[in-house]
């Protein structure tokens, strides 16, 4: 059923604004959802999609604006009110109990607590009839933990429908699904819309948005960038809308690329039996920055773990300074002068409960400068920390104060300082500015550019397109564990990068199409 | 070999099995109830001791036997409230809090006992629960003396086990209990308050533990001494795992342990050329063996020992 534009909307989000400190997550967003409509909310990470849906579902209180269901305003910050009004939410991370059966998961909380008997018979009939109506086949008596992820998601949807949801919100529903499961999910969602339910699904995948939605709302930087009917747009336009015209590039000298210091050839990494990186090719050269762009969850984390020596490749070859190595190990990396900025600075970058000077010297504590015969040279360590604090402008702490008292930006400057102070030959920077304010971002960027000028080979893994365009000399996209061929930064306009990130690698660019086929031409790739 | 058969074929053995099992059934069910909601209660040893003391003291001071049981249960619920406040509301370590309650409750039991009961060469006694004869059944050959010559609290423990099995698996309350122990966030999202459920389960569970203790002083024996619980609480904690958190199996596990214990007691008198310590070890060794086999398949409540805080994932 195609939504009737003249009918009153079932759900209305009006002028929603929400800030977290200085960061504006939602800026005056208005969206209306009609009965029987399947609406896609498209945007990059950080565009404000999840914040908006959390406001709708009552998890957050908006600074301004209102949420109306059938014209009745919902009280802010009350998930129960949203459920009662008929709004159901399917989170990316399921809210289910693996040891209980499907029926038990669905039934919890639906009966008066002190009834003498669970009316399982009636509940089973209701569940089965809903399942049949929407083609959501599932065994009510199966233990939930024995089901596949796709089936568990079906249970989450059933749970919402069992609670009489008429409006269903799905947060990145295909993120955890295989292609076949995703296809089946969209068939179900279309069927639900046809029967009069109203649905919103959040996504950053252009293909599924084009294929499934009636209408597409594009969010960018916390605002509604555009709204399109599915038939009146195309992937290229959507990619451009999603990414925006961002060509403000800081002036920087052209790269003077030197010798190749690291080369990966058809490198594969399996974690727990699943291939997280598939036959990737890339190389790093002195005085040059390689940027890896991609939507989060496409293998960036494993790539940075690989380069940080935390996981070993299961296939392919690596050459470090011209010599073949089977795996990188943490101690060896430090000794070889390879600096790392880990993705999660709080968990992997620094130990919050330890002093700043301890964090500054920790990875080099075995070197004679900082310890002798197992005795730590505290004064040398503290002097080193003081130097870093001075040179890298780390504010808010002295060498002996605890590291967790630093703000994120200053902690990052500390981590940068401990790595860059030694003039590393290679710098691995994973999401180096995630969560930092503008000032700290600028400082981190300046340091990375300076390291490159001094001859460091930089690998920059980032989800922030601006950052990659601003810093990188060559750019490769990572999609589902595969790397595209590199493009030179000068040729990288936002639209092309957007398409690369969505996995639409056209053969005309000398690139692979997105991934089901694993046969690649020799000679393509790292050229 | 025939001695073994003689022991197993004696009605006295089976009567002893039920008697020995009773405090274990109470304690195991109590621990199970608490753990199903997601909270480990290592206060069990001390709560059983306190229940044994306070129940006995009430009767010693003129209360009737059932009032004594009730007083014990209430005292247990009170310790449960303390445990819940510490572990649920404050989210403190469940191990440390539980062990703290055991040390505190055990010592407090002896302290109160010493304050209120004068020192005597022979400990003062009360008249305990008497075996009741079930008309018809008690007169059956073998079955009668073996199974139907128990005191009322023993039958009560079995009824509670069956009742709990029903509540856990057949009522909305039981589902709320299990969901709170498996995924309190999901429970909350569906309108069940896991904090209330946990408070209720811990308090009710602790009441059962204390009743198990009171059985020792009001039915199995007739006086109180501070060391009388003798690690039964810890056995109960192990039995919960053995039972895979299922009330029916908990009953079976308690009976099995009691069988080993009753059997070794009789074996001691028959085989007097073997040191009796060997026999004393037997139920524990067999329990560990049984645990090793059974517990591998156990499905632990997924949120056991995880404090629940609203809004955090």
Q: What is the ipTM of this complex?
A: 0.89
Q: Which of A413, A469, A403 is nearest to A437 (CA)?
A: A413
pLDDT band, residue A247 (cuts 50/70/90): very low
Residues B66-91 as b/e (b if ≥16 CB within 10 A, e otherwise) read eebbbbbbebbbbbbebbbebbbeee
Interface probe for B, chosen from A61, A109, A144 (most Cβ of B below 10 Å), is A109
Q: Are residues B182 and A110, on separate chains, in Cβ contact within 8 Å? A: no
Which strands make up the sheet holding A260-271, listed edge to edge?
A274-285, A260-271, A315-320, A323-325
| CA distance linking residue A195 with residue A135, whole number of Å | 12
d(CA A260, CA A281): 13
- Whether residue B297 lies within 8 A of chain A, CB to CB, comes out as no
Q: Cβ contacts (< 8 Å) between A110 and chain B: which residues?
A: 190
Give the helix ranges, DSSP H, for A213-338: 235-243, 300-307, 330-335
Residues of chain B in contact with residue A95, where contact means CB-CB under 8 angstroms, are 183, 185-186, 189
Specify the CATH number for A260-515; select among 1.10.3720.10, 3.40.50.300, 3.40.190.10, 3.30.420.40: 3.40.50.300
Contact by Cβ (8 Å): B109, B239: no
Q: Contact, A106 vs A123, CB < 8 A?
A: yes
Residue A104 C-alpha, separation from nearest chain B C-alpha, in angstroms = 7
* 3-class SS letters over A329-361: CHHHHHHCCEEEECCCHHHHHCCCCCEHHHHHH
B70 by DSSP, 3-state: which? helix
CA B44 vs CA B49, B51, B164, B233, B234: distances in Å = 8, 10, 18, 5, 8
Angle at B50 between CA B47 and CA B56, to 5 degrees: 140
Q: Same fold for the domain at A11-243 and the one at A260-515?
A: yes
Which residue, among A108, A144, A162, would best test binding to B if mutated, counting the most B CBs under 10 Å from its CB?
A108
- Please say whether the dihedral angle defined by the alpha carbons of residues A106, A111, A117 and A121, taken in this order, is positive or negative: negative
Cα distance between residue B256 and residue B233, in whole Å: 16
Token representation of residue A102: 């499907």
Contact present, A242 and A43 (Cβ < 8 Å): yes
B191 to A114: CB separation less than 8 angstroms, yes or no: no
Rounded (to 5) percent helix, strand, coil in chain A: 35, 25, 40
For residue A121, what is the nearest residue in chain B, using CA coordinates? B170
The verdict on a CB contact (< 8 Å) between A95 and B170 is: no
Cβ atoms of B36 and B245 closer than 8 Å: yes
pLDDT in tens, A439-462: 677 788 888 888 899 899 999 998
Domains of chain A by residue range: 11-243, 260-515
For residue A230, what are its two tokens?
Answer: 């599915």
Residue A118's pLDDT band, with cuts at 50, 70 and 90, is: very high
Instruction: Please give the domain boundaries of chain B with CATH numbers for all domains.
Output: 2-117+168-294 (1.10.3470)
CB-count exposure of residue B257 (10 Å: 0-12, 13-18, 19+):
buried
Distances (CA, A) of B88 to B38, B80, B131, B221: 10, 11, 41, 36
Q: How far apart are CA A296 and CA A488, in angstroms?
A: 22
Contact criterion met (CB < 8 Å) for A98 and B182: yes
- DSSP assignment of A446-481, as one string? HHHHHHHHTT-EEEEEES-HHHHHHH-SEEEEEETT
Compute the distance between CA of residue B159 and CA of residue A46 in angstroms, rounded to an integer. 58
A-chain residues within 8 Å CB-CB of B301? 99
Residue A483: CB atoms within 10 Å: 26
**Which residue of B lies nearest to A82 if distances are taken between CA atoms?**
B189
Question: In the structure encoding, which two tokens stand for residue A254, read together?
Answer: 């052209």
Q: Hey, is A50 helix, strand or coil?
A: helix
Nearest CB to A98; choose among B170, B174, B302: B302
Angle between helices B11-36 and B194-215 (to 10 degrees): 160
Architecture of domain A11-243: 3-Layer(aba) Sandwich (3.40)
Judge contact between A257 and A458, C-beta under 8 A. Answer: no
- Cβ-based neighbour number of residue A81 at 10 Å: 16
> What does the alpha-carbon distance between residue A316 and residue A305 come to, in Å, rounded to a whole number?
16
> CB–CB of B82/B65 below 8 Å?
no
Backbone dihedral angles phi then psi of residue A128, each to the nearest 5 degrees: -65, -35
Average pLDDT over residues A367-396: 86
Q: Give the residue carrying structure tokens 């001691």.
A: B268
Using DSSP, state whether A482 is helix, strand or coil. strand
Confidence of residue A504 (pLDDT cuts 50, 70, 90): low
- CA nearest to B303 within chain A: A97
- Report the distance separating Cα A369 and Cα B72, nearest Å: 66
Out of A80, A117, A118, name the one closest to residue B191 (CB): A80
How many of the other CB atoms lie within 10 Å of CB of A177? 17
A140 alpha carbon, distance to own chain's centre:
33
pLDDT, tens only, A197-242: 999 999 877 778 888 899 999 988 889 989 999 888 887 788 778 7
> Chain B residue with minimal CA distance to A81?
B191
Is any Cβ of chain A less than 8 angstroms from the Cβ of B296? no
- Cβ neighbours for B192, distance < 8 A, ≥ 6 positions apart: A108, A109, A113, B176, B179, B180
- What is the pLDDT at residue A94? 86
Residue B96, Cβ neighbours under 10 Å: how many? 12
CA distance A105 to chain B (A): 8
Spatial distance between the Cα atoms of B236 and B238, rounded to a whole number of angstroms: 5
Written as six digits, the tokens of B311 are: 């809004």
Whether chain A has a CB inside 8 Å of the CB on B180: the answer is no
Q: pLDDT tens for residues A26-40?
A: 999 999 999 999 999
Of A80, A99, A117, the CB nearest to B170: A117
Residues whose CB falls within 8 Å of the CB of residue A103, separated by 6 or more in sequence, listed in order: A120, A123, A124, A127, A140, A141
> What percent of chain A stands above pLDDT 70?
90
CA distance B168 to chain A (A): 10
* Cβ proximity of A152 and A94 under 8 Å: yes
Name the residue of chain A whose CA is nearest to B179's CA.
A97
If DSSP codes are grouped into helix, strand and coil, which group holds residue A430? strand
Question: Cβ contacts (< 8 Å) between A97 and chain B: which residues?
Answer: 178-179, 182-183, 186, 302
Residue A167: phi and psi, rounded to 5, are -120, 125
Q: Which residue of B has its CA nearest to A80?
A: B191
What is the pTM assigned to this prediction? 0.73
CB contact under 8 A, B186 and A97: yes
CB contact under 8 Å between B173 and A104, yes or no, is no
Tokens describing residue A415 = 């981590």
Distance of CA A10 to the CA centre of its chain: 31
Contact across the interface for B186 and A80, Cβ inside 8 Å? no
Q: What Rg, from alpha-carbon coordinates, does chain A have?
A: 26
Q: What is the pLDDT of residue A515?
A: 36
The shortest CB-CB distance from A99 to any of B185, B299, B313 is to B299
Full pLDDT tens readout for chain B, 313 residues: 577 788 888 888 999 999 999 999 999 999 999 999 999 999 999 999 999 999 999 999 999 999 999 999 999 999 999 999 999 999 999 999 999 999 999 999 999 999 998 877 788 999 999 998 888 887 888 888 888 889 999 999 999 999 999 999 999 999 999 999 999 999 988 889 999 999 999 999 999 999 999 999 999 999 999 999 999 999 999 999 989 999 999 999 999 999 999 988 888 888 878 888 888 888 888 878 878 887 777 789 999 999 998 755 4
């Amino acid at each position: 059923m195609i939504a009737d534009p003249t009918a009153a909307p079932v759900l209305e989000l009006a002028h929603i604004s929400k800030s977290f400190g200085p960061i504006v997550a939602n800026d005056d967003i208005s969206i209306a959802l009609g009965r029987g409509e399947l609406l896609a909310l498209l945007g990059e990470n950080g565009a404000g999609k999840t914040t908006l849906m959390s406001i709708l579902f009552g998890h957050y209180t908006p600074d301004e604006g209102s949420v109306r269901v059938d014209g009745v305003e919902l009280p802010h910050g009350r998930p129960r009110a949203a459920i009662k009004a008929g709004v159901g939410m399917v989170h990316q991370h399921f809210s289910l109990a693996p040891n209980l059966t499907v029926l038990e998961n669905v039934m919890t909380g639906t009966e008066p607590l002190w009834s003498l008997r669970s009316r399982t018979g009636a509940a089973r009939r209701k569940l089965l009839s809903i399942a049949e109506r929407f083609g959501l086949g599932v065994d009510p008596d199966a233990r939930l933990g024995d089901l596949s992820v796709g089936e568990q998601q079906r249970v989450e949807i059933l749970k919402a429908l069992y609670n009489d949801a008429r409006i269903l919100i799905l947060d990145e529903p295909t993120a955890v699904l295989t292609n076949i499961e995703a296809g089946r999910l969209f068939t179900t969602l279309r069927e639900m819309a046809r029967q009069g339910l109203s649905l919103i699904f959040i996504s950053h995948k252009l293909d599924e948005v084009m294929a499934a939605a009636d209408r597409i709302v594009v969010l960018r930087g916390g605002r509604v960038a555009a709204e399109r009917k599915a038939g009146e747009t195309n992937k290229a336009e959507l990619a451009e809308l999603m990414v925006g015209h961002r060509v403000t590039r800081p002036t920087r000298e052209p790269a003077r690329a030197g010798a190749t210091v690291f080369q990966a050839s058809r490198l594969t990494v399996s974690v727990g039996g699943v291939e997280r990186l598939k036959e990737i090719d890339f190389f790093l050269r002195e005085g040059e920055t390689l940027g890896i762009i991609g939507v989060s969850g496409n293998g960036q984390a494993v790539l940075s773990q690989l380069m940080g020596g935390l996981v070993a490749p299961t296939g392919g070859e690596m050459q470090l300074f011209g010599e073949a190595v089977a795996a990188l190990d943490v101690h060896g990396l430090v000794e070889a002068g390879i600096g790392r900025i880990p993705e999660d600075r709080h968990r992997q970058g620094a130990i919050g409960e330890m002093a700043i000077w301890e964090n500054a010297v920790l990875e080099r504590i075995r070197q004679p400068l900082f310890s002798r015969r197992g005795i730590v040279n505290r004064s040398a360590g503290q002097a080193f920390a003081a130097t870093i604090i001075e040179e890298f402008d780390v504010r808010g702490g002295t060498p002996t104060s605890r590291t967790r008292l630093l703000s994120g930006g200053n902690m990052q400057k500390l981590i940068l300082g401990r790595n860059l102070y030694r003039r590393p030959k290679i710098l691995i920077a994973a999401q180096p500015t995630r969560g930092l304010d503008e000032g700290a971002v600028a400082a981190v960027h300046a340091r990375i550019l300076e390291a490159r000028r001094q001859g460091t080979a930089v690998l920059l893994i980032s989800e922030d397109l601006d950052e990659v365009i601003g810093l990188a000399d060559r750019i490769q996209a990572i999609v589902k564990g595969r790397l595209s061929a590199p493009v030179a930064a000068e040729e990288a306009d936002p639209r092309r990068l957007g398409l690369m990130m969505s996995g639409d690698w056209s053969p005309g660019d000398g690139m692979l199409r997105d991934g089901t086929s694993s046969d690649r031409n020799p000679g393509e790739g790292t050229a | 070999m025939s001695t073994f058969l003689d022991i197993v074929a004696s009605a006295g053995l089976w009567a002893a099995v039920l008697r020995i099992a009773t405090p274990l059934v109470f304690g195991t069910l109590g621990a199970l109830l608490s753990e199903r909601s997601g909270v480990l209660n290592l206060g069990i040893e001390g709560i059983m001791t306190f229940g044994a003391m306070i129940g006995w003291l009430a009767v010693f001071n003129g209360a009737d036997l059932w009032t004594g049981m009730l007083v014990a249960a209430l005292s247990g619920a009170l310790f449960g409230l303390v445990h819940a406040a510490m572990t649920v509301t404050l989210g403190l370590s469940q191990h440390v809090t539980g062990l703290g309650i055991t040390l505190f409750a055990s010592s407090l039991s002896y302290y109160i006992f010493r304050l209120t009961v004068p020192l005597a060469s022979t400990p003062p006694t009360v008249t305990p629960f008497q075996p009741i004869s079930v008309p018809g059944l008690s007169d059956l050959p073998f079955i009668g003396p073996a199974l139907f010559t128990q005191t009322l609290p023993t039958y009560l423990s079995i009824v509670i086990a069956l009742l709990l099995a029903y509540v856990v698996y057949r009522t909305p309350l039981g589902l709320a209990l299990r969901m709170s122990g498996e995924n309190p966030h999901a429970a909350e999202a569906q309108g069940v308050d896991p904090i209330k459920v946990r408070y209720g389960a811990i308090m009710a569970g602790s009441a059962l533990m204390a009743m198990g203790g009171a059985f020792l002083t009001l039915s199995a024996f007739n006086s109180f001494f501070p060391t009388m619980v003798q690690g039964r609480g810890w056995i109960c904690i192990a039995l919960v795992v053995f039972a895979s958190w299922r009330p029916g199996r908990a009953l079976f596990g308690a009976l099995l342990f009691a069988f080993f214990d009753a059997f070794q007691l009789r074996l001691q008198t028959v085989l007097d050329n073997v040191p009796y310590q060997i026999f004393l070890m037997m139920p524990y060794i067999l329990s560990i063996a049984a645990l090793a086999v059974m517990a591998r398949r156990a499905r632990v409540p997924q949120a056991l020992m995880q404090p629940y805080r609203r809004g955090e994932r």
